[in-house]
Amino acid sequence: MQNFSYNCQYFSLKIAQKKHTSNIVFTISPSFVTTKMAPQTLSILKSNLPSVLRTKCFNDKNLSFEKEVVKTEIGHLFEHIFIENLSLLKIQNGFDYAEFNGRTSWNWNKEETGIFHIFIDAGKEDDAYFFEALKESILLTNSVIESSLSIYDFEQNKNGQPVMATRSL
Ligand SMILES: [Zn+2]
């Protein structure tokens, strides 16, 4: 087993990679745990990775991922983005067929809010495209989070105190 840690801008990833599978601990601040605060999520996915919207999703409401994505946990979004990037890159690497499965779980009664456990059936055997898929998934997830930041900042500033800058010499 190999372990990797990444501190990304808004979240961190701890990956335990085995031959065929990987377990990922995805940790994010409680302020960013769902896509509810990022209304542009769907349009960001449509322009950057439209095929992710066709990935199958098994959720308790039986919603398609395209419907689910508007209001879902960010760890779950990352899981779908990662398996889609893995599939696309595997095909680009010359394989005729690619299928990956993922599962995201969390229990914020037992652990801190913002900790997700993601299981992916890609591992060391997928090293040829695993890290490229990971990098692209991190960048796209960051864009979704950043889109929420600008709205959040704007709303915060609407009724905020005047912002001032001073400079002394
Ligand atoms: Zn899903």
- How many angstroms does the Cα of residue 118 sit away from the middle of ligand 1? 11
- What pLDDT sits at residue 164? 58
Residue 164 located in a structural domain: no
Residue 167 lies inside a defined structural domain of this protein: no
For residue 163, report the distance from its CA to the centre of ligand 1, in Å: 41
**pLDDT value for 102:** 94
Q: What is the pLDDT of residue 149?
A: 82
Q: What is the pLDDT of residue 11?
A: 96
Distance 101 CA to ligand 1 centre (A): 10
CA atoms within 13 A of residue 75's CA, in its CB half-sphere? 26
- Residue 15: inside a domain, yes or no? yes
| Cα 2 to middle of ligand 1, angstroms | 26
* Cα–Cα nearest to 10, from 29, 25, 24: 29
Ligand 1 midpoint to CA 84 (Å):
12
Distances (CA, A) of 102 to 14, 24, 105, 138, 153: 16, 11, 10, 16, 33
- Give the Cα-Cα-Cα angle 59, 65, 71 (nearest 5 degrees): 80
Domains of the chain: total: 1
Q: Residue 4 C-alpha to ligand 1 middle, in angstroms?
A: 24
- The answer to whether 68 and 56 are in contact (CB under 8 A) is no
- Domain assignment present for residue 59? The answer is yes
pLDDT of residue 148: 87
Predicted local distance difference test score (pLDDT) of residue 89: 97
Residue 153 confidence (pLDDT): 58
Domain range holding 133? Answer: 2-158
155 Cα–ligand 1 center, Å: 30
Q: Is residue 98 part of a domain?
A: yes
**From CA 19, how far away is CA 111, in angstroms rounded?**
28
- Give a yes or no: residue 25 inside a domain: yes
Prediction pTM value: 0.88
Give the pLDDT of the chain (169 residues) as one tens digit per residue: 999 999 998 999 999 999 999 999 999 999 899 999 899 999 999 999 999 999 999 888 888 999 999 999 999 999 999 999 999 999 999 999 999 999 999 999 999 999 999 999 999 999 999 999 999 999 999 999 999 886 655 555 555 555 556 565 5
